[in-house]
A and B are shown apart, each in its own frame.
Chain A
């Protein structure tokens, strides 16, 4: 096969596009894991929920509230979907997860697995598994831009830029601000932070809400690219778990970088040997486990 620079670069760029989704999702998992010590299996389902909030806001919300002409547009969806899903997350944390902190961490995984089944199951019953297109992509993001070495769809470029901004913004808040220092302290020693008068339970609730809001944000970004389907989340979450194992959940920056790199590697594999592209991340996970079991950025606890 001809391995021209252009083919490789275009696949790597498309891979980077997937990579930013991996980065946002694994970042959310890492933030949640840091403070709550649970792996949020429902992350994929909430990513899917975010995409559906955008889709339904555009197609069905208007008729539902008696204003058939009302459509929730893309820009509004980027704000509304994370808020809605974040609120769902807060309810989940308050009513269910908070009862499990005193037990084995595995119960958190099992509970969120059950929630993922519920959310996915409900949407499977009402929507087409093969997916519905989201047609509210704004005019301004149509077409392609010339990157010098290739023509790249404008929308995908926007997704890459805004995702990187959100990822590094989150990193900045957590690693460089006063608020973030509470969060990091809470990760290290919640009891001590409580003693300093910080409302740790509230912090935990908001952290979970923020983590899943990130997933919903990614879901809205993904909606115009992929078709919105009930199974989009479960396909994503297993890959993201592998990403998280490779990067280790100990470091925020680590999970962002791992996500981006693996997306590009996946894109690159598509050019070199396409059939392996769906498994390459899992194979890299195997290699990392053999060479550096704690993960690239992890610390052995």
Chain B
């Protein structure tokens, strides 16, 4: 993809907190990274995980716990959450890749449900309340992430925003590099024709597991970021609704496109905040979007645009 587009995106990200409501931007960045991580699995390896909330939410609990109770600095908290998600991804992945296609989706969903029950019942997760009031802390023990600056009369946590933005860029870069590496080429080969990849001598299982672990780790990082932004780790983060939401973001934006998950996350997050007045009808709207998307434009926004421009976006 062209360099100028990347530069524009980075500039937009840098000036965004001066223009858009920063909490919205940070939420968007967290979910966009989550969707990108998910897309690495669905779009580039052809594996539909219906349990990605386990990594997102699980890591957000771990980070919350480490920072709040353990008193760790935010970067260590996020590292802890990400490593936890990677480990969990290894366990779930090794089990789930034993079956294919539709079974894979059901297994990941069921395993994620175990994580949900743990979050509900374990003594350190706060049950129905979740972990509340997670401190933002001092980055490397020096930079106060809670500090706010007045922009246009309202306080904005700029330090936190740029920290989150930097993490997003790091995560996105890892995904981009993965997709465009020889490793990523093998993943695409598996997606297109698994038996053929096997016959070419690739140890398909190992590649799938590796992709699963990377995807889980980055989904975890997104969840860790979220717990610092909202200072909250809740049951919603680990529930199957969240797993479904990330599928929708990816599908809506365009499965297997680099920019699709960003567009999809933007659309869904905007819908949610614009329609927050309709309350629980939002579930119905999400459902309708799902149905329309599956029936009418399976390529998603970016995929359809790419087809019109005859370019891979």
Contact surface of A with B, Cβ cutoff 8 Å? 33, 38-39, 96, 99-100, 103, 105-107, 109-111, 113-122, 124-125, 234, 238, 241-242, 244-245, 275, 278-279, 282-283, 285-286, 289-290, 293-294, 301
Option from A124, A282, A301 in Cβ contact (under 8 Å) with B113 = A282
Contact surface of B with A, Cβ cutoff 8 Å? 48, 95, 98-103, 105-107, 109-111, 113-114, 117, 121, 240, 244, 247, 251, 279-284, 286-291, 293-295, 298
Which residues of B lie under 8 Å from residue A244 when comparing CB positions?
A: 106
- The answer to whether B111 and A118 touch across the interface, beta carbons within 8 angstroms, is no
- The answer to whether B287 and A121 touch across the interface, beta carbons within 8 angstroms, is yes
Q: How many angstroms between the C-alpha atoms of A244 and B100 in the bound complex?
A: 14
Taking A114-B289, A245-B110 as contacts, is the C-beta distance between A238 and B294 under 8 angstroms? no
Which residues of A lie under 8 Å from residue B121 when comparing CB positions?
A: 275
**Closest beta carbon of chain A to B205's beta carbon, Å:** 11
Which residues of A lie under 8 Å from residue B287 when comparing CB positions?
A: 114-121
**Closest beta carbon of chain A to B254's beta carbon, Å:** 14
Which residues of B lie under 8 Å from residue A100 when comparing CB positions?
A: 294-295
Among B95, B103, B247, B288, the one with the most A-chain Cβ atoms within 10 Å of its Cβ is B103
Among B113, B244, B282, B294, the one with the most A-chain Cβ atoms within 10 Å of its Cβ is B294
- The answer to whether B48 and A106 touch across the interface, beta carbons within 8 angstroms, is yes
Q: How many angstroms between the C-alpha atoms of A185 and B191 in the bound complex?
A: 30
Which residues of A lie under 8 Å from residue B282 when comparing CB positions?
A: 121
Shortest beta-carbon contacts, A-B, top 10: A114-B290, A117-B287, A121-B283, A118-B287, A121-B284, A293-B98, A114-B291, A242-B110, A241-B106, A111-B294
Which residues of A lie under 8 Å from residue B240 when comparing CB positions?
A: 234, 238
Known: A122-B284, A242-B106, A290-B98. 10 other contacts (CB 8 A): A99-B295, A100-B295, A105-B102, A111-B294, A113-B247, A118-B284, A244-B106, A282-B110, A289-B99, A289-B107
Which residues of B lie under 8 Å from residue A118 when comparing CB positions?
A: 283-284, 287-288, 291
Option from B48, B106, B290 in Cβ contact (under 8 Å) with A245 = B106
- The answer to whether B105 and A106 touch across the interface, beta carbons within 8 angstroms, is yes
Option from A111, A120, A238, A285 in Cβ contact (under 8 Å) with B283 = A120
- The answer to whether B283 and A114 touch across the interface, beta carbons within 8 angstroms, is no
- The answer to whether A125 and B284 touch across the interface, beta carbons within 8 angstroms, is yes
Among B99, B111, B117, the one with the most A-chain Cβ atoms within 10 Å of its Cβ is B99
- The answer to whether A117 and B110 touch across the interface, beta carbons within 8 angstroms, is no
- The answer to whether A278 and B117 touch across the interface, beta carbons within 8 angstroms, is yes
Which residues of A lie under 8 Å from residue B280 when comparing CB positions?
A: 121, 124-125
- The answer to whether A282 and B114 touch across the interface, beta carbons within 8 angstroms, is yes
Tell me the nearest residue of chain B to A120, going by C-beta.
B283
Tell me the nearest residue of chain A to B294, going by C-beta.
A111
- The answer to whether A125 and B102 touch across the interface, beta carbons within 8 angstroms, is no
Taking A111-B291, A113-B244, A120-B283 as contacts, is the C-beta distance between A293 and B99 under 8 angstroms? yes
Q: Provide a sorted-by-A list of 7 A–B residue pairs whose CB atoms are within 8 angstroms.
A: A111-B295, A121-B286, A241-B106, A245-B103, A285-B110, A285-B111, A286-B111
- The answer to whether A110 and B251 touch across the interface, beta carbons within 8 angstroms, is yes
**Closest beta carbon of chain A to B275's beta carbon, Å:** 12
Q: How many angstroms between the C-alpha atoms of A289 and B280 in the bound complex?
A: 37
**Closest beta carbon of chain A to B243's beta carbon, Å:** 10
Which residues of B lie under 8 Å from residue A234 when comparing CB positions?
A: 240
**Closest beta carbon of chain A to B240's beta carbon, Å:** 7
Which residues of B lie under 8 Å from residue A242 when comparing CB positions?
A: 106, 110, 113
Tell me the nearest residue of chain A to B279, going by C-beta.
A125
Which residues of A lie under 8 Å from residue B102 when comparing CB positions?
A: 33, 38-39, 105-106, 109
Q: How many angstroms between the C-alpha atoms of A113 and B103 in the bound complex?
A: 15
Which residues of A lie under 8 Å from residue B110 when comparing CB positions?
A: 238, 241-242, 245, 282, 285
Which residues of A lie under 8 Å from residue B106 when comparing CB positions?
A: 39, 241-242, 244-245
Which residues of B lie under 8 Å from residue A286 when comparing CB positions?
A: 95, 111
- The answer to whether A114 and B109 touch across the interface, beta carbons within 8 angstroms, is no
- The answer to whether B294 and A107 touch across the interface, beta carbons within 8 angstroms, is yes
Option from B48, B279, B281, B291 in Cβ contact (under 8 Å) with A115 = B291
Which residues of B lie under 8 Å from residue A275 when comparing CB positions?
A: 121
**Closest beta carbon of chain B to A49's beta carbon, Å:** 14
Tell me the nearest residue of chain B to A38, going by C-beta.
B102
Which residues of A lie under 8 Å from residue B288 when comparing CB positions?
A: 114, 118
Tell me the nearest residue of chain B to A243, going by C-beta.
B110
**Closest beta carbon of chain B to A79's beta carbon, Å:** 29
Tell me the nearest residue of chain B to A281, going by C-beta.
B110
Among A116, A118, A122, the one with the most B-chain Cβ atoms within 10 Å of its Cβ is A118
Option from B113, B117, B279, B290 in Cβ contact (under 8 Å) with A111 = B290
Which residues of B lie under 8 Å from residue A301 when comparing CB positions?
A: 100
